[in-house]
Structure 1
C-alpha cells in the first residue's frame, strides 16, 4: 500500500510532449491530501477495531466467567436442595419415631392406669363386702338378746365354722 510519503516523493520524468507539470503537481497534491486523510482514518479505524476487539474479548471472558459462575451456582443450589431434602426426610422420620414412642408410652400408661383401676375396684368391692359382713354381725349382736348370748357357749370350732361360712358368703356376693 502506498503511503502519503510515497505519493509526495513520486517524481515523474519530463518529456516534451508530457503533461503540464503544474497541473500534475496540483492534482498530486490534492490526491496526497485526500489520501493522507484516508490513510490516517484507516489507521484510527484499525486502532479502534483493535480496541473494540480487545473489549469484545474482555466481555467474552466475563461472559464465560459468568456462565461458569451460573453453572456453579445452579449446581450448588441443587446440592443444597438435595441436602435440605435429605435433612427434612431424616427430621420427619425422627419425628415419626418420637411420636410413635410417645404413643407407645401413652398406651402403656393407659394400660397401667386401667390395671390399677381394676385393682382398686376389686379392693373397693372386697372392702364393701367386708363392711357389709361387719355391719351384719353388728346388727345381729344388737338384735340378739344378751341373755341368750351368755347362755350359749361358743367354741373355737364354732368361730372357725362361722368364719368359713362368712368367707363363702363374701365370695358368693362378689360373684353377683
Structure 2
C-alpha cells in the first residue's frame, strides 16, 4: 500500500519537474542581476555528485549500508541543489550559444542532448530506486540500482563535460 502511494507521488514528481523546468526556462526575471557566477558552481555540484556516487557504490560493496545511504541522500540533495541553481541561472541569464565548430560541435550537442534526455529519465529511476531502499525491498533496490547508477553517473559526468566545453563562450 505504501509503495503504491510512493509510485503515484514519484510519477507526479517525474512529470512535474521536467514540465516546470521547461516552463521556467522561458521565463526571464526582469530587473534582476544575472546569476552568471552559478555555472561553475553547479558544474562542481555535478562533479561532486559523480564522486559521491562512486563512493556510495564502494561503501555498499564493503557492506557499509549506513554510509551508502548517507552518500546517496547527499547525491539527491546535490541534484536538487543543482536544479535550483540551473533554473535560477536560466531565469536571469540568456542561454549561451556553443561556439565550437566542426566535429567537436557535433560531439558537444550529442553530449548535451543525451545529458538532458537522460536527466529526465533519471528522475523516476532515482526516486523509485531510493523508495525501494526506504521500503527495505533491498533486492528490488539492487536490481534497479544496476541501471540507475550508470545513468546517474553519466548525467553527473556529462554535466561537467558540457560546462567545460561551453565555458569559453560565456559572456563575461
Shorter-chain TM range is under 0.3
Q: TM-score, normalised by structure 2?
A: 0.21
Larger relative CO (CA 8 A, sep 6+): 1 or 2? 2
Q: Which has the higher helix share?
A: 1
| Larger Rg computed on CA atoms | 1
